[in-house]
Amino acid sequence: MSTELELVARSYAFDGFVHTYRHASAATGTPMRFSVFLPPSATMDKPVPVLTFLAGLTCTEETFFAKAGALRLASSLGLGLVAPDTSPRGANLPGEDDDWDFGTGAGFWLDATEPPWAAHYRMEEYLTRELSSLLTQLPLDLSRQSIFGHSMGGHGALALALRHPGRYQSVSAFAPICSASVVPWGEKAFPRYLGADPKAWRAHDVAALVRDHGGPRGLPLFVDQGLDDKFLDTQLRPELLEAACQAVNHPLTLRRHVGYDHSYYFISTFVADHLAWHANALGLSA
């Protein structure tokens, strides 16, 4: 794995810095990009806790920082933010740019097992192993890390927290895909990434993971969902996650908000609540 980070953009914001890096990825076999917000308190002698945001379909490493309105509070909390890209880019696989909800910009935060995708679409390995290793070069305390996300990224955040117990101190999501194996987005992506066996899909389905591995001592889940979200009834299905958590007594805070849709207007309205949730888990004062 290459450990060389190329700084491609740097912006001053709320007395801290947003850095965007590019690097050669061994996990994906392509160049990858990620963005980091470093609050003014971050130094190599005193690294800050880190909160990773996983974005949704079609988004990039820039989307969250530009649209969510999270930087002011992160700066005052002394909280580092990380936003990776949502897929490999430039793998030049047949069909990877044909649809907005599969391939480029739609890595689903999993490791593909089926050709040709398995050679490059390894977003779980990228995030949990390669990117984590690279982040040790920055003033971030990886012993104190949490994760959250939106839509496909909400699915990713919840699934990865359940698949890697003990790795994250907290997890939350905005409008996540709650049971990807039984909704159209997942039914399109999972067979192509993971093959025809539904057992392989279940291992990346949040509601199924809760039923199989959750319980009263599990990591509490915090989810916000807008009730005017056009994807609510077909793609997101929060009631399936709610039922799974009730079945095994897994802690869940699920808030439903009248009038809110799937956009970053929704995220920006409630992002402070999520940062406060994670700050508390990471030992910071919200």
Q: What digits encode the pLDDT tens for the residues 48-97? A: 999 999 999 999 999 999 999 999 999 999 999 999 999 999 999 999 99
Mean of the per-residue pLDDT values for the chain? 97
Render pLDDT for 137-160 as a digit per residue (tens, 0 to 9): 999 999 999 999 999 999 999 999
pLDDT reading at 1 higher than 60 = no
**From CA 92, how far away is CA 166, in angstroms rounded?**
36
**From CA 168, how far away is CA 43, in angstroms rounded?**
22
Determine which helix (DSSP H) or strand (DSSP E) holds 226, and give its type and residue range. strand 221-226
Give me the active site residues, please. 151, 229, 262
Q: pTM above the 0.75 mark?
A: yes
For 216, phi then psi, to 5°, come to: -60, -20
Which CATH architecture fits 6-281?
3-Layer(aba) Sandwich (3.40)
**From CA 182, how far away is CA 63, in angstroms rounded?**
27
For 150, phi then psi, to 5°, come to: -130, 130
Render pLDDT for 83-109 as a digit per residue (tens, 0 to 9): 999 999 999 999 999 999 999 999 999
H-type helices in 68-151, by residue range? 71-77, 123-125, 132-135
* Residue 258 pLDDT level (bands cut at 50, 70, 90): very high
> What's the pLDDT at 26?
97
* Residue 190 pLDDT level (bands cut at 50, 70, 90): very high
**From CA 52, how far away is CA 282, in angstroms rounded?**
13
pLDDT reading at 3 higher than 90 = no
Is residue 44 classed exposed, middle or buried when 0-12, 13-18 and 19+ CB atoms within 10 A define those classes? exposed
